[in-house]
């Protein structure tokens, strides 16, 4: 099988799977218990928290575990709105965010908050000028992804803190780094971020666990109420096996500079080979992340059918957009104002550190056959 859907999820490293298994079978105590089994489990959580904090260049007590990126995003958005609703009413985001942000701000809009959604250009780019124009003194939250999950556009998140300062706003800054974590350097303090979302299964860790960085002194209101876990920000018995696996995955993140250079080489090779297919177009911009490549496939099938065809006939796994959208029309490509025929026939290729040029060759050959056998009419 050729797996090129790494923006949806990645294959867990063996060391990660081994850690999860060991936690399930040997270190299975409740982390809140005071006997040895509980203390051992708690120690593993502390170790994982330290590994993730190191990867983010922050303090361990600024890391709060969640069930994944979606929960962390919800906690950031709703938690900020609830804590700061008396300070202002405006929320600034973009029209190309992950569904967990899009749906959250839509709900807040129903509750009376003013939501500003910045529109991208035809490559999915947002400009610094748009951010400066949108943020005003009434803004309480700016929530933006670092790297878009469908086309790979890199958003100018470093401009947010300057925009907030210039507007003299009391806004908190939330950056969704799910697609950036483990691929680019992320230093919340340098970015001016109060809140940062990351997740395990995009960095070869287990599914079902993520984390929210919360800057010391930042006040947000919890979404769940219960015990003392995670300083009451996210109570409930911790998923110690998944958290421990997350820690191992974070500790295994390779040298970012070397990894990015290799990803860029692979992406450039893919573009070169794909250019041999007549009428095929690349939707991702020149400055997009090298880990994500969105393309238009000139066939009479829809993108979902292309994905199923490549999987069933060639055992090649790609995506027709965000996995969380479950096959719905891409709101990202729609916001980019791409023609309907392009939006309906575009797919996403996404790489990991384990992909090779041979994987690209297999995909290109399969697409050549597919476009020949099912030409657009």
Mean pLDDT (whole number) for 130-145: 98
Q: Assess whether 324 carries a catalytic annotation.
A: yes
The answer to whether residue 327 scores a pLDDT higher than 80 is no
Of 81, 135, 255, 137, nearest to 185 by C-alpha is 255
Could you say which of 177, 267, 317, 324 is catalytic? 324
- Whole-angstrom Cα distance, residue 243 to residue 354? 23
CATH of span 2-9+255-373: 3.90.1150.10
CA distance 181 to 185: 8
Tokens encoding 176: 């969704």
pLDDT surpassing 70 at residue 140: yes
Q: Is residue 325 predicted with pLDDT exceeding 90?
A: no
Q: Which residues contact 159 (CB under 8 A, 6 or more apart)?
A: 128, 131, 132
Q: How sure is the predictor about 117, in pLDDT bands with cuts at 50, 70 and 90? A: very high
Q: What is the pLDDT of residue 355?
A: 98
Please give the average per-residue pLDDT across 190-218, as a whole number: 98
Q: Give the pLDDT band of residue 328 (cuts 50, 70, 90).
A: confident
In SS3 terms, 362-376 reads as HHHHHHHHHHHHCEC
Q: Degrees (nearest 5) of the Cα angle 101, 104, 106?
A: 105
Residue 239 CA to residue 209 CA, distance in Å, equals: 8
Sheet architecture: strand order including 139-145: 63-66, 210-214, 195-199, 172-176, 139-145, 90-94, 114-118
State the DSSP string of 140-151. Answer: EEEEEESB-TTT
The number of beta carbons lying within 10 Å of the beta carbon of residue 165 is 12
CA distance 52 to 212: 11
Cα separation values, 354 from 4, 13, 139, 162, 262, Å:
10, 10, 42, 37, 10
**pLDDT band at residue 5, thresholds of 50, 70 and 90?**
very high
Close Cβ partners of 170 (under 8 Å, ≥ 6 residues apart): 84, 87, 88, 140
Pairing mode, if any, of strands 139-145 and 172-176? Answer: parallel
Domains 2-9+255-373 and 14-251 share a fold: no
Q: Is the CATH number of domain 14-251 3.40.640.10?
A: yes
**How far does the chain reach from its first CA to its final CA, in angstroms?**
31
Looking at residues 32-52, what average pLDDT do you find?
Answer: 98
Strand partners, 49: none
Q: Is the pLDDT of residue 285 over 70?
A: yes
β partners of residue 232: none
Q: Name the residue ranges covered by the structural domains of the chain.
A: 2-9+255-373, 14-251
Across the chain, mean pLDDT equals: 97
Residue percentage of the chain with pLDDT more than 90: 97
Angle at 217 between CA 33 and CA 90, to 5 degrees: 120
Measured CA to CA, the distance from residue 175 to residue 160 in angstroms comes to 10
Please report, for the chain, how many H helices and E strands are present, in that order: 13, 12
pLDDT of amino acid 322: 61
Four-point Cα dihedral 89, 80, 99, 109, nearest 10: -20
> pTM of the full predicted structure?
0.97
């Amino acid at each position: 099988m050729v797996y090129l859907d790494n923006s949806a999820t990645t294959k867990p490293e063996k060391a990660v799977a081994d850690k999860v298994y060991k936690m399930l079978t040997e270190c299975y105590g409740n982390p809140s218990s005071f006997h040895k089994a509980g203390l051992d489990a708690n120690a593993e959580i502390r170790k994982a928290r330290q590994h993730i904090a190191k990867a983010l260049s922050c303090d361990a007590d600024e890391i709060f575990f969640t069930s994944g990126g979606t929960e962390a995003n919800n906690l950031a958005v709703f938690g900020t709105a609830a804590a700061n609703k008396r300070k202002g009413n405006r929320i600034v985001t973009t029209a190309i965010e992950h569904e967990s942000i899009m749906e959250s701000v839509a709900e807040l809009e129903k509750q009376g908050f003013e939501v500003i959604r910045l529109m991208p250009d035809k490559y999915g780019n947002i400009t610094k000028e748009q951010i400066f124009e949108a943020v005003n003194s009434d803004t309480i939250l700016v929530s933006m992804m670092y790297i878009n999950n469908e086309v790979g556009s890199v958003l100018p998140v470093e401009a947010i803190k300057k925009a907030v300062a210039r507007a003299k706003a009391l806004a908190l800054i939330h950056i969704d780094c799910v697609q950036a974590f483990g691929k680019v350097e992320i230093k919340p303090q340098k970015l001016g971020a109060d809140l940062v979302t990351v997740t395990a299964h995009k960095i070869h860790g287990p599914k079902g666990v993520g984390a929210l960085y919360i800057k010391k002194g930042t006040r947000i209101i919890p979404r769940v109420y219960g015990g003392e876990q995670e300083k009451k920000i996210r109570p409930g018995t911790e998923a110690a096996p998944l958290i421990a696996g997350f820690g191992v995955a974070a500790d295994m993140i390779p040298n970012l500079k070397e990894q990015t250079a290799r990803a860029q080489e692979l992406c450039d090779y893919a573009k070169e080979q794909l250019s041999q297919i007549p009428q095929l177009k690349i939707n991702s911009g020149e400055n997009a992340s090298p880990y994500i490549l969105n393309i238009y496939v000139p066939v009479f099938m829809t993108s979902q059918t292309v994905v199923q065809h490549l999987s069933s006939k060639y055992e090649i796994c790609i995506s027709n957009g965000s996995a969380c959208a479950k096959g719905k029309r891409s709101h990202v490509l729609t916001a980019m104002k791409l023609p309907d025929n392009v939006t309906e026939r575009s797919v996403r290729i996404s790489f990991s550190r384990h992909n090779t040029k041979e994987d690209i060759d297999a995909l290109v050959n399969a697409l050549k056959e597919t476009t020949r056998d099912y030409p657009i009419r």
